[in-house]
DNA sequence: ATTGAAATTGAATTTAATTTCAATATTATA
DNA sequence: TATAATATTGAAATTAAATTCAATTTCAAT
């Protein structure tokens, strides 16, 4: 935000010749950020594939040619903007980590609340994350690294939590992946695609987060979370095999 | 396959004037199908966004101009080709429905085997399904309809399975959606993105299907499926809350 | 105030594709 | 085998963007 020169953000420097792709003055830095902010706005509105360079420069209120003074192409700009977006989310996430140690359900809940809030507030940007991940394998990897890393604490804990199951690290990861992947489809179809069958009775962010946490917790522990922690899903304690 | 004229496949007829978008002879039908087959090949190879009209005509071995004789644009062709692809999958699916009535786990397993097999065999096409769903809201809806419809039998069964839980139809659908959505992320990252951390120890189609079915079953019933039906995941019976 | 480095403009150019269409070929039918 | 309907070709025109760059402006340092 403050320092004009040393940023690691400049990604796709087209070899060595040509335009700088980095601002060389405070004013330049301002303009560069104006373009980034404009890009975020356009991305949220029209998505990655429909975005045009002139959309961004118009939104920023600058001439088209200026774009190339700071970015080699739309993809670089988009990657930079979305990487920033993810990092900002993660920053907040650290703060979120003030839940009692060992309370698995609260920890899942805190994590899910953050994710759900982000989808609810920025559905267009979340869509772009998926678009760009499909387009660019490096970005796709970044996203997956992120996801896997957030699950790692749990993966590493598995042998201790369930010694009898004798998990290999790989199997633990696969199982956790399968359990945690449940969020993506419903979040996309609820917040991005806004399927009327899902929106029929709207859920608050907390309710959605609770739902995702409960299904995860049940799959992991074969047990419902403590009833006193539930509201929207409290009836799920009765969702279990009858008779037998 | 046999009947040249009456096909409902032609989707985006650009109003009334202009080229037919439908073959008017057996030879024409042949050429049209050749283009569709070529499109499928190109889609699998390069994906929807990188596909060009000349890619398709070259692959089909015809002149570029012929494209417009049968299709208004790439999107129409792609929608038609992918819709066919889905329908073919579903045909097989009906056959798959010869599992013992009331055996929930076997039913899930049969369904998941089919889905996993399709991802394993046609990762490029599955990727295109996601790409086009993102691009075209009508196609996105088609895909979701499909998904929701396949879950409907279970949604409708919920009140009977768990009377005490007193599910509304909407809540039942949301819960099932959350549980069933787990497949998408892992299938994408395993078969399409081929994440090395997941591929480290390769899973067979049956193993992957088993995994997805077990996590679903556990979340639904708070119980592990019958041990004798499991192989890759048999140790998951020990994945449950210890002590208390 | 002058100067030079950097920022900025926007019209001209280039690029990569789509789209058209007159000419030609094929085919089924009378 | 003539004819008309349809299929097919591929070069030319069009289109919608990206990209370049000479000219101009801004601004901080001297």
Tens of pLDDT, residue by residue over B57-70, are 999 999 999 999 99
Report the mean per-residue pLDDT for chain B.
Answer: 90
- What digits encode the pLDDT tens for the residues A101-111? 878 899 999 99
B12 vs B83: CA distance, rounded Å: 13
Would the CB atoms of B222 and A218 count as touching at under 8 Å? yes
Give the tokens for residue A215: 């299904």
pTM for the predicted model, two decimal places: 0.92
What value of ipTM does the predicted structure carry?
Answer: 0.92
Q: Give the model's confidence band at A187: pLDDT under 50 very low, under 70 low, under 90 confident, else very high.
A: very high
Residue B75 CB neighbour total at 10 angstroms = 16
Which chain B residues are within 8 Å of A119, Cβ to Cβ?
Answer: none
From the list A168, A178, A242, which residue is nearest B215 (CB)?
A178
Would the CB atoms of B221 and A241 count as touching at under 8 Å? yes
Question: What pLDDT sits at residue B129?
Answer: 98
B64: the nucleotide nearest its CA (via C1') is D10
Q: What is the dihedral of CA A75, A78, A79, A83, to 10 degrees?
A: 180
CA distance A198 to chain B (A): 7
B104-121 vs B123-135: helix crossing angle, rounded to 10: 90
Would the CB atoms of A238 and B170 count as touching at under 8 Å? no
Q: What is the DSSP string of A62-82?
A: S-GGGHHHH-SSHHHHHHHHH
Q: Can you list the domains of chain B with their CATH numbers?
A: 10-81 (1.10.10.60), 97-236 (no CATH)
Which chain B residues are within 8 Å of A198, Cβ to Cβ?
Answer: 173-174, 177
Residues with CB under 7 A from strand C: A 20, 23-25, 27-28, 30-31, 61-66, 69; B 18, 25-27, 52-54, 64-65, 67-68, 73-74
In the predicted structure, residue A61 carries a pLDDT above the cut 80: yes
Q: How many CB pairs under 8 A join A and B?
A: 165
In whole angstroms, D9 C1' to B63 CA is 6
**Which of B152, B154, B182 to probe the A interface (max A CBs under 10 A)?**
B182
A160 Cβ under 8 Å from any chain B Cβ: no
Q: CA separation (Å) from B19 to A127, B15, B37, B55, B56?
A: 36, 10, 21, 21, 18
Check whether residue B22 has its CB closer than 7 Å to nucleic acid strand D: no
B18: the nucleotide nearest its CA (via C1') is C20
Task: Tell the residue number behind the tokens 């899973």, with chain if given.
Answer: B203
Q: Which residue of B has its CA nearest to A219?
A: B219
Positions of chain D reached by protein Cβ under 7 A? 5-11, 17-22, 26-28
Tell me which long-range contacts B47-50 makes (C-beta under 8 A, separation of at least 24): B47/A134, B47/B124, B47/B127, B47/B128, B47/B131, B48/B78, B48/B128, B48/B131, B48/B132, B48/B135, B49/A49, B49/A135, B49/B131
A144 Cβ under 8 Å from any chain B Cβ: yes
Q: Which residue of A has its CA nearest to B243?
A: A161
B62: the nucleotide nearest its CA (via C1') is D8
Check whether residue A163 has its CB closer than 7 Å to nucleic acid strand D: no
A137 Cβ under 8 Å from any chain B Cβ: yes
Q: Give the model's confidence band at B22: pLDDT under 50 very low, under 70 low, under 90 confident, else very high.
A: confident
- What digits encode the pLDDT tens for the residues A86-140? 999 887 767 667 788 878 899 999 999 999 999 999 999 999 999 999 999 999 9
Q: What is the dihedral of CA B75, B80, B81, B84, to 10 degrees?
A: 150
First to last CA, chain B: 61
Secondary structure percentages of chain A, helix, strand, coil, to 5: 70, 0, 30
In whole angstroms, D10 C1' to B57 CA is 13
Report the mean per-residue pLDDT for chain A.
Answer: 90
Burial class (CB in 10 A: 0-12, 13-18, 19+), A229: middle
User: Percent of chain A at pLDDT above 90?
Assistant: 80
- What digits encode the pLDDT tens for the residues B94-153? 766 778 887 889 999 999 999 999 999 999 999 999 999 999 999 999 999 999 999 999
- ∠ CA A110-A116-A118 to the nearest 5 degrees? 105
Q: CA separation (Å) from A144 to A59, A75, A77, A178?
A: 31, 19, 20, 14
Q: Which residue of B has its CA nearest to A173?
A: B198
A214 vs A233: CA distance, rounded Å: 8
Q: What is the mean pLDDT of residues B178-202?
A: 97
Would the CB atoms of A239 and B144 count as touching at under 8 Å? no
In whole angstroms, D11 C1' to B52 CA is 19
From the list A197, A218, A242, which residue is nearest B173 (CB)?
A197
Would the CB atoms of B239 and A218 count as touching at under 8 Å? no
Which chain B residues are within 8 Å of A183, Cβ to Cβ?
Answer: 178, 181
Q: What is the mean pLDDT of residues A8-34?
A: 65
User: Percent of chain A at pLDDT above 70?
Assistant: 90
B211 vs B236: CA distance, rounded Å: 10
């Amino acid at each position: 935000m403050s320092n004009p020169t040393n940023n690691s953000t400049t990604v796709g420097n087209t070899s060595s010749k040509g335009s700088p792709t980095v601002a060389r003055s405070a004013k330049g830095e301002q303009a560069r950020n104006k373009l980034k902010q404009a890009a975020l706005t356009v991305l949220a509105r029209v998505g990655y594939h429909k975005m045009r360079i002139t959309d961004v420069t118009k939104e920023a209120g600058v001439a088209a040619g200026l774009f190339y003074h700071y970015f080699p192409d739309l993809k670089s700009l988009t990657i930079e903007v979305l990487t920033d977006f993810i990092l900002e989310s993660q920053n907040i996430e650290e703060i979120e980590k003030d839940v009692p140690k060992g309370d698995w359900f609260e920890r899942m809940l805190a994590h899910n609340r953050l994710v759900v809030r982000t989808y609810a507030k920025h559905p267009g940007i979340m869509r772009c994350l998926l678009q760009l991940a499909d387009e660019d394998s490096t970005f796709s990897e970044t996203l997956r690294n992120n996801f896997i890393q957030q699950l790692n604490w749990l993966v590493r804990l598995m042998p201790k939590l369930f010694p009898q199951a004798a998990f290999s690290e790989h199997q633990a990861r696969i199982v956790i992946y399968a359990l945690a992947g449940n969020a993506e489809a419903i979040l996309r179809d609820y917040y991005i695609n806004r399927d009327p069958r899902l929106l029929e009775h709207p859920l608050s962010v907390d309710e959605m987060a609770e739902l995702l946490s409960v299904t995860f917790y049940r799959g992991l522990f074969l047990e419902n979370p403590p009833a006193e922690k539930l509201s929207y899903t409290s009836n799920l304690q009765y969702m279990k095999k009858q008779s037998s």
